Amino acid sequence: MLLLAGVVKTASIAIHGGAGIFPRKQFSDSLKARYTKALHDCLDVGWQVLSAGGSSLDAVQAAIVALEDCPLFNAGKGSVLNEDGRIECDAAMMAGDGRAGAAAGIRTVRNPVLLARKLLDEGRAVFLAGEGAERFARDHALPLVEEDYFITAQRRAELDDARSGSKVALDSIKFGTVGAVARDKEGHLAAATSTGGMSNKLVGRIGDTPVIGAGTFAQDGVCAVSCTGVGEVFIRKVVAHEIAARVRLAGQSLEDAVCEVIYKELPPLGGVGGLIAVGADGSLSTHFNARTMYRAWRKGRGKPVARIF
Ligand code: ASP
C-alpha cells in the first residue's frame, strides 16, 4: 500500500561517514580513493535492500552495519577513544512510524546499531545506556567482541594528539560518525546513526547521535534525518527534529530547512557539522558547514554518487 496517495514510488538512500575539518590539501589521492570506495560499497549494501523491495529500516541498518565494520569510520571498529583510552559507542535508529531504539556507552557489542534495532523492535524501552544496554545485548544474543576489537592504531594516535593539546577533538578531523537515511518504495522513511563520539571525550559523555530528535529522527510523510558534528550543539538545537518541525509545521521545503539550520542556526553556537535528510517524496538533502562530509547517495533510477568536499 502506498503511504501517500499520488506519491511516486521512488526509493532513495543517503549515507554519511562524518563531517570533518581536515584541510583539502592534506587528502592524498589514495586516501580519497579509499574513502570513495568505502562510501560506494556501504551505500550499495543499503541500496540492494531497497531495490529488492526491502524496507527503509532494513536498508539503513544494512548500510550502517557495513559502515561500522569499516575501520575508516568512527563507529563500531575504528571508533575514537575517550579520555581514559576506552571505547564508548552510541547508536540510534528510528522508523518513520515512530518506533525508535538507541544505546549509549557501548563497549562490547560488535554492531551498536543492531542493539538499537533490537530495542526498536521490542518496544519495551527506547534508550539504554552502559551496563544495562550490554546486558540487553547479551540477553538477545547479539554478537559481542572484546573492547580491543574496536581500537585501531590511528585512534590511539589521535587520542595522544588530543591529550597533548588537552582538547576534545572533533572525531572526524580525519574520519567520522556514520549515518543513513532512506525512503522505501512504500514511502516509509527511516534514519540511523552510529558513532564512537569525539576523541578524548569525558568518560560517560553522550553526544547527539543516540538522542532521538537531536542526531537521529524520522517521521513518515515528513523526513528522516541523520546528523554529524559537535554533538553538544546538535543536542541543544535538537537539530534532526528541528528540520522535521520546519517541514511539517512551518511548510519549509526540506532543502530550505536543512540550509537554514546548518548555515544560519548552528554556526553562532560553534555547531560545526552537517546532516543528510530524505523527504517524503524521496528527495535528498545533504549539507555541512565543516570542510568535509563523507557522503553518498542514490535515488530512483539515478547512479550512485559519493563526495567528500
Ligand atoms: N556527533 C558526534 C558526537 O558528538 C560526533 C561526530 O559526528 O563525529 O558524538
Q: What pLDDT shows up at residue 167?
A: 56
Q: Verify whether ligand 1 is closer than 6 Å to residue 197 (CB atom).
A: yes
User: Which cell is 219 given?
Assistant: 517521521
The rounded Å distance from CA 269 to ligand 1 centre is 15
- Cell 517524503 belongs to 280
- Model-level pTM? 0.94
pLDDT of residue 275: 98
pLDDT given at position 286: 98
**What residue ranges in 172-270 does DSSP mark as E strands?**
178-183, 189-195, 216-219, 223-229
CATH number of 87's domain: 3.60.20.30
* pLDDT value of residue 169: 52
Say if strands 89-95 and 100-106 run parallel, antiparallel, or are unpaired.
Answer: antiparallel
**In a domain? residue 165:** yes
Assess whether the C-beta atom of 78 lies below 6 angstroms from ligand 1: no
Residue 231 CB–ligand 1 contact under 6 Å = yes
Q: Give, for ligand 1, the residue of 171, 173, 175 to mutate: max count of ligand atoms closer than 8 Å to Cβ.
A: 171
pLDDT at 25: 77
For residue 2, being part of any structural domain is answered with no
Domain assignment present for residue 122? The answer is yes
* Distance from C-alpha of 145 to C-alpha of 143, rounded to nearest angstrom: 7
Q: Of 60, 67, 79, 78, which is closest to residue 13 (Cα–Cα)? A: 60
Tell the residue nearest (CA) to atom 9 of ligand 1.
197
Q: Is residue 4 part of a domain?
A: no
CB 209 near ligand 1, within 6 Å: yes
The number of distinct structural domains making up the chain is 1
- Of the candidates 254, 260, 263, 309, which has an alpha carbon nearest to the alpha carbon of residue 285? 254
* Alpha carbon of 206 to ligand 1 centroid (Å): 9
Beta-carbon contacts of residue 138 (< 8 Å; ≥ 6 apart): 144
Query: In this predicted structure, what is the pLDDT of residue 168?
Result: 54
pLDDT of residue 4: 47
Q: pLDDT (tens digit, 0 to 9) for every residue of the chain, 309 residues total?
A: 444 444 456 899 999 999 987 777 778 899 899 999 999 999 999 999 999 999 999 999 999 999 999 999 999 999 999 999 999 999 999 999 999 999 999 999 999 999 999 999 999 999 999 999 999 999 999 999 999 999 888 888 888 887 776 555 544 454 479 999 999 999 999 999 999 999 899 999 999 999 999 999 999 999 999 999 999 999 999 999 999 999 999 999 999 999 999 999 999 999 999 999 999 999 999 999 999 999 999 998 899 999 999
Cα R_g (the chain), whole angstroms: 17
Domain assignment present for 309? no
> Strands across the sheet with 216-219, in order?
216-219, 223-229, 273-279, 284-288
* 5 falls within a domain: no
Question: What spacing in Å lies between the alpha carbon of 9 and ligand 1's midpoint?
Answer: 33
| Pocket test residue of 200, 228, 262 for ligand 1, highest count of atoms within 8 A of CB | 228
pLDDT score for 3: 47
If one counts every other C-beta atom within 10 angstroms of the C-beta of residue 34, the result is: 13
Instruction: Give pLDDT, residue 2.
Output: 43
Closest CA to 19 of 258, 226, 289: 289
CA of 198 to the centre of ligand 1 (A): 6
Residues 6+ apart with CB under 8 A from 275: 16, 179, 225, 226, 227, 228, 229, 239, 240, 243, 258, 261, 262, 286, 287, 288
- Provide the residue range defining the domain that includes 208: 12-304
Atom of ligand 1 nearest to the CA of 177: 8
State the closest ligand 1 atom to the C-alpha of 229, by its place in the atom list counted from 1: 7
Which of 209, 212, 288, 292 to mutate for ligand 1's pocket (most ligand atoms within 8 Å of CB)?
209
Any atom of ligand 1 within 6 Å of the Cβ of 172: yes
228 lines ligand 1 (CB under 6 A): yes
Q: What are the catalytic residues?
A: 177
CB 254 within 8 Å of CB 229 = no
Whether residue 70 lies inside any domain: the answer is yes
Closest CA to 284 of 101, 4, 13: 13
CA nearest to 241, candidates 117, 76, 100, 30: 100
Residue located nearest, by CA, to atom 4 of ligand 1 = 231
Domain annotation covers residue 7: no
195 touches ligand 1 (CB under 6 Å): yes
